Amino acid sequence: MECYEDDVPHVLAVDDNLVDRKLVERLLKSSSCRVTTAENGMRALEYLGLRDNNQQSGFNGKGSKVNMIITDYCMPGMTGYELLQKIKESSFFKEVPVVIMSSENIPTRINECLEKGAETFMLKPLKLADVKKLRHQLTKCEN
Amino acid sequence: MAAVPQLQRQFIEYTTSLYNEGYLDDQFTQLQKLQDESNPDFVVEVVSLFFEDSEKLLNNLATALQQNIVDYKQVDSHVHQFKGSSSSIGAQRVTSVCVLFRNCCEEKNLDGCLRCLQQLKHEYINVRSKLEALFRLEQQILQAGGSIPMME
């Protein structure tokens, strides 16, 4: 298993809601993650270098590898599910765990995401305990 | 200037009342837990974002409901945003109104929506003034050299 850059996982958090973006960023940082936020699916794909099915390097300009993607489900333009699909279609990113968040507890939605390969589904609003659990799942760095 | 212990007691009483009266719920406590020495203003920052966001949404809602042909999907989408952000900061009463509001959208009930918008404005203004009062109390405690009591 690869080590994380600087020993901390780098998480890409995608959410169109400004308040939620701020919250998820702080939650992840408090769990010792490096965080990059994106306000929608398109921006997330751009960051990953996957815009327009561009499968080149998978690294953005700064070359920061992403260890996990956490995304809201309901977003304008591209839903979290559609973003998940695009990520799973990418040979470069399909192994990156993708977590879906939603304020709505809809079993068909949850199953749909899990079947598409989402790592897990989290109900909003997010709490410290939720993120701590997630962080545990991410601890893979061997020294 | 009031003494620190008195201010702290005031703070505890006020905060407790906000929870008891349903203005705030446990999610607000989650925000407070995320505040520390390296992020001393986190709660104020998130809540300020909520205020800005809310005011925009209230305007958007008013505009959307004034259209000759109301686009209920658009209205619902604004309410969904409002529900999300209010729930994320623990503004329970605001979130509750949003739930009712979404039902009115689904029923395409214009009167219901207009009533909900009024209620939403009312609850938002209430929670905003209460949170502002809470933050002022915090400032008073800090300025008097005290520390903010931790609420369990």
Between B136 and A56, the higher pLDDT residue: B136
B48 inside 8 A of chain A by CB? no
For chain B, the distance separating the N- and C-terminal CA atoms, rounded to the nearest angstrom, is: 27
Q: What is the pLDDT of residue A52?
A: 67
pLDDT (tens digit per residue) in B71-108: 999 999 999 999 999 999 999 999 999 999 999 999 99
Answer whether residue B151 shows pLDDT above 90. no
SS3 assignment, position B124: helix
pLDDT tens track for A93-139: 999 999 999 999 999 999 999 999 999 999 999 999 999 988 887 77
**Å from A77 to nearest chain B CA?**
13
Domains of chain B: 4-33+40-144 (1.20.120.160)
User: A143 falls in which pLDDT band (50, 70, 90)?
Assistant: very low
- Chain B partners of A76 at a C-beta cutoff of 8 Å? 77
Q: What is the pLDDT of residues B35-70, one digit of tens each?
A: 998 999 999 999 999 999 999 999 999 999 999 999
Whole-number Å distance between alpha carbons of A41 and B3: 52
- pTM: predicted TM-score of the whole model, two decimal places: 0.91
Cα distances from A5 to residues A34, A66, A83, B59, B114, in angstroms, run: 10, 10, 24, 44, 52
Q: Are strands A68-72 and A10-14 parallel, antiparallel or unpaired?
A: parallel
Q: Express each pLDDT in A47-89 by its tens digit.
A: 999 876 555 555 554 446 899 999 999 999 999 999 999 999 9
Mean pLDDT of chain B: 96
Q: Going from the N-terminus, what domains does chain A have, and what CATH number goes with each?
A: 5-136 (3.40.50.2300)
Q: How far, CA to CA in Å, does B127 sit from each of A115, B10, B121, B135?
A: 41, 18, 10, 12
Q: What percent of chain B has pLDDT over 90?
A: 94
Band of the pLDDT at A142, cuts 50, 70, 90? Answer: very low
Q: Which residue from B42, B52, B88 is facing A20, i.e. has the nearest CB?
A: B88
Residue B30, pLDDT > 90, answer yes
B33, B39, B50: residue with CB nearest A19: B50
> Is the pLDDT assigned to residue A2 strictly greater than 60?
no
CA distances from A73 to A34, A44, A102, A121, B69 (A): 22, 13, 5, 10, 29
